[in-house]
């Protein structure tokens, strides 16, 4: 038989060991001796703990990773459902982090992520959870939320903390963030819905100028789906050659001479008995009209 136990060295220190015991029998089958072999498995245990740690925590910041975050969020929702409480979720994305990584290098970017993690942890209660999902995306689970106003106040506290200048090696860096917020049960009955809606709110904060916090509203999902539908249709238009390139001359009125040519891409898509056309110009202008097809 074999098993693991704690053994003790001559100096009094303990260590994990694997012990196996074998019986030695004579020709009649009577036990004569026992042989026990001990193997020091300190390194093996350290490797197992390291693997277990990496499976649940982020290697750069030491924060819970996506796996542990999902587990804690589900547990928070279960407790809130049982005691009829609220859970707040904040989805946080650093503004222009890629620019910092590209200009100052990834080592400096990692130092910044470590600092952001520390400031986030300093801004919340011990009962709350900060996790890093990957890249420059962080999430905060707020337990026993008193209301949406409390979540807004916490978001403001976090943004103020992160906006303080920081010295990274020889570089002075200012960092800002965009935050999307959702609340259980108002904005979702499970973890997936809460994360999805907080993510949608965060992207709306980005599109609205960054460095702000936005609470999820149902109309944000409608807008997001409309943008997704337009993008999907446009990709289909490219694959099916629905886009046509046209050149439109621009004439100077004072002389009547050709001054320049505007390149236009017109999207021609048939819908029922109508032919919809959209003209896109390099300057960002867009003109839409329809005529009988």
- Catalytic residue positions? 136
Three-state SS for 65-104 is: CHHHHHHHHHHHHHHHHHHCCEEEEEEEEECCHHHHHHHH
Tokens of 183: 């609340």
SS3 271: strand
Tokens of 20: 């196996």
What is the bridge-based pairing of β-strands 14-25 and 2-8? antiparallel
Are the C-beta atoms of 36 and 62 separated by less than 8 Å?
no
- Cα 38 to Cα 18: distance, rounded to the nearest angstrom: 6
Cross-strand bridge partners of residue 178: 93
**Number of other residues whose CB lies within 10 A of the CB of residue 1:** 7
Cross-strand bridge partners of residue 145: 86
Are the C-beta atoms of 80 and 72 separated by less than 8 Å?
no
- Strand arrangement, sheet containing 213-215: 129-134, 137-145, 86-94, 177-184, 213-215
Cross-strand bridge partners of residue 266: 244, 279
Tokens of 274: 């109508």
Tokens of 26: 């004579």
């Amino acid at each position: 038989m074999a098993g693991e136990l704690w053994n003790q060295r001559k100096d009094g220190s303990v260590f994990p060991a694997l012990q196996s015991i074998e019986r030695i029998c004579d020709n009649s089958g009577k036990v004569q001796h026992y042989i026990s072999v001990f193997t020091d498995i300190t390194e093996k245990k350290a490797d197992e703990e390291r693997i277990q740690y990496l499976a649940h925590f982020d290697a750069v910041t030491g924060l819970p990773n996506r796996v542990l975050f999902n587990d804690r969020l589900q547990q928070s929702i279960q407790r809130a459902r049982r005691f009829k409480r609220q859970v707040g979720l904040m989805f946080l994305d650093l503004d222009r982090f890629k620019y910092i990584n590209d200009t100052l290098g990834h080592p400096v970017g990692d130092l910044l992520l470590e600092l952001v993690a520390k400031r986030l942890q300093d801004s919340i209660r011990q009962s709350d959870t900060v996790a890093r999902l990957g890249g420059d995306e962080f999430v905060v689970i707020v337990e026993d939320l008193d209301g949406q106003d409390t979540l807004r106040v916490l978001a403001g506290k976090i943004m103020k903390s992160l906006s303080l200048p920081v010295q990274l090696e020889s570089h002075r860096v200012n960092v800002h963030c965009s935050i999307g917020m959702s609340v259980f049960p108002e904005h979702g009955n499970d973890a997936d819905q809460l994360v999805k809606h907080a993510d949608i709110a965060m992207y709306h904060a980005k599109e609205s100028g960054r460095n702000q916090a936005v609470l999820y509203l149902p109309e944000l999902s409608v807008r997001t789906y409309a943008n997704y539908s337009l993008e999907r249709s446009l990709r289909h238009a490219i694959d099916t050659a629905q886009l046509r390139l046209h050149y439109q001359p621009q004439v100077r009125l004072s002389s009547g001479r050709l001054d320049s040519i505007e390149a236009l891409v017109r999207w021609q898509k048939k819908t029922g008995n109508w032919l919809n056309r959209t003209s896109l110009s390099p300057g960002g202008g867009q003109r839409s009209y329809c005529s009988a097809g």
